[in-house]
Amino acid sequence: MATTTRLLALVPLLLAAAACGSESDSDSSADAAAPAATEAESSSDDDSDDSGEDASTPPAAGGGAATLTLANGETFEFSNVLCALEPQMSAGSEILFTAVSYDDPSLDITQFGSDGTVTDVAAISVYDGDFETLWEANSMFGQPVELALEGSTIRGTGSFLPGPDLIGDAVEGEVVANC
C-alpha cells in the first residue's frame, strides 16, 4: 500500500506543477497552490506580447468552474478553476491538458500524453483541505477513466474509488470543467 500512496502523491505534484505554468522548482509542494494563483493573475495583467503565446509554457487561465457528480448522489462544485489547455512538459511528463481548483475540497483533472515519465494516464481526483483523497479515478491503477477536451471545456467519466486508501466499491462519476 505504501507504493500506491507514493504514486498517488506524484499525481497532485505533477498537476500543481502544470497549473503553475512554470518549469522552476518550488521549495515545497504545499506552496504550489499560491504560485499557481499568482501566475494566473499576473499572466492576465501582462498582455504586452500581442501574440498572447509563451513559447515555453502556456499560461493558466483562472476563474472557471467545475462539477463532479457521482452515481451515489454526491456532488462536488468547484470555483476558481485554473486550466492549462495546451500540451506542455512538466516534471518530466507531457501533460495534454489539466484543470485544478484549490477550493476545499480541491480538484485535479489531468490527461497525460505519450511522452515522459508518466504516460497515457487520465486522472480525476478530489482532496480535502488536508490533501487527503476523498475520491479518485485514475487509469494508472487500472480504473476506467475517459477525458476529453472540447474547446475550453474538459469532460470526463470514470470509476471513482473512495479515499484515503482507495479501497472499496467504485462509484461511477462524471466531471465537467468549464475553463
Please write the tens of the pLDDT for every residue from 7-43.
Answer: 344 444 344 444 444 333 333 333 333 333 333 333 3
Given this model, what pLDDT does residue 114 score?
94
User: Phi/psi at 61 (nearest 5 deg)?
Assistant: -100, 140
Question: Which secondary structure element, helix H or strand E, spans residue 14, and what is its range?
Answer: helix 2-20
pLDDT of residue 62: 60
For the chain, give the percent of residues with pLDDT over 70.
65
Which residues, 6 or more positions from 131, have their beta carbon under 8 angstroms from its beta carbon? 12, 30, 106
Mean pLDDT of the chain: 76
pLDDT tens sequence across 98-110? 999 999 999 999 9
Q: Where are the beta strands (DSSP E) in the chain?
A: 61-70, 75-84, 88-90, 93-101, 106-116, 122-127, 133-138, 145-150, 153-162, 171-178
Q: What is the pLDDT of residue 171?
A: 97
Going by C-alpha positions, the residue among 83, 102, 89 that lies closest to residue 147 is 83
* Span of 50-54, 59-63, 93-97 with lowest mean pLDDT: 50-54
Inform me whether the pLDDT recorded for 77 exceeds 80: yes
Region 125-153: what's the mean pLDDT?
95
CA-based nearest residue to 20, from 156, 119, 28: 28
Residue 63 pLDDT level (bands cut at 50, 70, 90): confident
Mean pLDDT for the stretch of residues 119-141: 95
